[in-house]
Amino acid sequence: MKDRIYLDNQSTTAVDPRVRAAMEPFLRDRYGHPASRSHPYGWDAERGLESARAQVADLIGAEPREIVFTSGGTEADNLAVKGVAEALEPKGRHVITTGVENRPVLDACAWLQRRGWEITCLAPDAGGRIDASAVEAAIRDDTVLISVQYANHEVGTVQPVAEIGEIAASRGVLLHSDATQAAAWLPLHVRDEGVHLLSLSANKMFGPKGVGALYIRRRKPRARVAPQIHGGGHERGFRAGLPDIAGAVGFGLAAELCRTESKSDTERVGALRDVLEGALLDETGATVMGSREHRLPNCTNLAFEGVEGEALLVALPEIALATGSACTSATAQPSYVLPAMGVDKSTAASSVRFSLGRFTQPEEIDRTVVRVKDVVARTRALDPRR
C-alpha cells in the first residue's frame, strides 16, 4: 500500500486515526442501546449519540435537535426530497433541481416524476454553476422544494447557495442542499445561508462509512418532512431504526475536526492541488473542467485531449483516480455532469478527476505529475492522427 497514491477523496476518504480511536470503545464495551435508560450501557450509548449530534450541529451552525442521523448522504437526500414532497403535497407538486446534482437527488426527483410530480431541472453554465436568477424564474405557486447541491462531486464547482436561500425565503419555498462534498472544506452556516435541509456524509469528511445526517430546520420556518423509514420513534420520528452509535461517534469527531482544522487543511491541500494542476496544465496541455473561481480547494477535473480517461486510469493502477462520480462509476455509466455543462462527448471522455485529502503528501503529487505526464505523452505518440 505504501507505493499507492490515493487521489479519489471525493468518492470517499480515509478515516482519521483520531476518529477510529473515538469509535473503538463503542465497538468494544459501550455497546448499549441509547433507548435503554435503566442501565449504564444505555446511558453511555445515549451520551455518545447526543454528543455526536451536538458536534455535527456545531459544524453547520444548527441546533442538536435539528440533526437526524441516517445511513449516509444517499438516505439523507432521499429523506429530504421525498419527505418534503410527501409532507407538502397538499400545497403543490413541483420541485426545482439542477442537472448536476448528486445522483440520489436526481433519482429521487425521477421517482417523484413517475408519480405525477413536475420537476424543473435547471442547466448550469459552462463552469457548472447555477444562476440564482434562473432558480427564481423557475419558482411557481405550487413549488414546494428547491434542491441545489453546495458543491459538485465531479468538478468541485461551488453553487451560490446563500443567494438561492434568500430567494427561497422570499418566496416561501424550502431549500435543500447536498453538502456532502463541501463540509470538509468550506465553512457552512445553515441559518445565514437560508438552508432548510442539508445532507451530510461522514465518509466524505474523514469519518466512517455508513453514517450521515440530515439537518431539518425546526423554526422560522419549520421544515416539514415525512419519514421514509417506519418502525419506531428513533431520531424524533424522522427515521426509524437504531443509529450506528460507533459510527455516529466517529462522525461527530470528524465534524469537530473539520470545524477546527478546515482552514489549515484547506490552505495546505489547496496549495498541493494548485501544484498538481499547474504542472499538468503546463506539461500536458490539459483543460480544466468546471469553474476555476468557484470551486472546492481539494479537486481538479482535467481533460487530456487525445487520451481516454478510462485508459489513463488503467495505465495508472497505483494511483486512485476517477472519471465520474462514485454513484455512477459502479454501474459503468459515463459522467452526466460534464454533458450537462455543455461539454462535448470527446472531451468528457478524456476527463479525469483528481481529488486530494487531509493525508495527501507533496511527494505523492510529484510522483503523480511524473506518471501522468509520461502516460499521456506515450498515449498521444501512438495516435496516428498526431
Which residues form the catalytic set?
327
Beta strands in 261-373 (DSSP E): 287-289, 299-303, 319-320, 351-355
Q: Residue 138 and residue 119: Cα distance in Å, rounded?
A: 10
What amino acid is encoded at 59 in this protein?
L
Beta strands in the chain (DSSP E): 5-6, 67-70, 94-98, 118-122, 143-147, 174-178, 197-201, 212-216, 287-289, 299-303, 319-320, 351-355
Peptide bond preceding 221 in cis form (omega within 30 of 0): yes
Nearest CA to 100 out of 113, 92, 109, 91 is that of: 109
Distances (CA, A) of 173 to 119, 126, 229, 381: 14, 27, 24, 55
Beta strands in 113-211 (DSSP E): 118-122, 143-147, 174-178, 197-201
Sign for the pseudo-dihedral over CA of 10, 158, 68, 34: positive
How many residues make up the chain in this entry?
A: 386
Nine cell digits for residue 60 = 453547520
Residue pair 229/211 in contact by the 8 Å Cβ criterion? no
Distances (CA, A) of 82 to 51, 222, 305, 314, 331: 28, 17, 41, 38, 24
